[in-house]
A = this chain, B = another copy of it.
Amino acid sequence: MSGRLTVIGLGPGNADQVTPEASRAVTEAKFFYGYKPYLDRLELRPDQTRVASDNREELARSKDALTKAAEGHDVAVVSGGDPGVFAMAAAVCEAIEAGPAEWRAVDVAVVPGITAMLAVAARIGAPLGHDFCAISLSDNLKPWELIELRLLAAAGAGFVIALYNPISKARPWQLGRAFECLAAILPGTTPVIFGRAAGRPDERIEVYLLADVEAEKADMATCIIIGSPETRIIKRGEKPALVYTPRSSTGRTK
């Protein structure tokens, strides 16, 4: 008597960017597991139960949710953004793989959402308009050396780079170090976008050049997009500048 577990992506935080599929999935579930700020976005009915947990408790949260679903309940795990991008879908899969056989019998579904880099990119033009990559800057779950290797490989090959989890109280120096690495191989004129709370009332989207960027202006909720050497800024007088990466590429890396 296995239940159902749906991992739901709520998008960047603006109700207008929650898909109808995600809204319907919220209506159908009975038990909601998630990081409290994401659960706070939901308007639940009295017959729906929320089980809030802290950040960095993704695996424990996944196990609790799977246990509940395996008992036959309709369970949701909620994520900001897209649950498949540095979020809960992978944690749920990890728990299933390592867990008891009955967890494999749970009906698992993932409902995609607008991930932060897409929301930020949309507010500034089209910085992800050509080949790009997404890197989590958190070295909680991988060695810092690997992050540097990926930054250099990506920038050296001309990818635009979106950074998730750029900075936190426990990880204060990593973002500054990442910019130093990138500055060694990218032009100082490379556009860098700091996007926070895209589409929300407290939105803040700022464009810097790599030579001038200051890591301390970012926080946990910032998504950072670092252009390629081909990324361009269009000045528009009083209107905000547009930043975009052309669809064509010559392969210029300096």
Contacts and interface: CB of A to CB of B under 8 A. Distances in A.
B158 A156 contact: no
A90 to B, nearest CB: 3
A74 interface: no
B133 A159 contact: yes
Nearest to A142: B249
Q: Determine how many copies of this chain the complex contains.
A: 2
A14 interface: yes
Nearest to A14: B21
Interface stretch (A43-51, A167-175, A235-243): A235-243
A179 interface: no
A193 to B, nearest CB: 12
Interface residues of A, number: 80
A192 interface: no
22 contacts: A9-B122, A16-B19, A16-B21, A21-B199, A84-B118, A84-B128, A84-B129, A89-B121, A90-B130, A92-B126, A93-B244, A94-B246, A97-B244, A104-B234, A104-B239, A113-B118, A131-B150, A133-B154, A141-B247, A142-B251, A146-B251, A153-B157
Interface of A: 9, 11, 14-21, 24, 58, 82-86, 89-94, 96-97, 104-105, 107-108, 110-115, 118-119, 121-123, 125-136, 141-143, 145-146, 149-150, 153-154, 156-159, 199, 232, 234, 236-237, 239, 242, 244-251
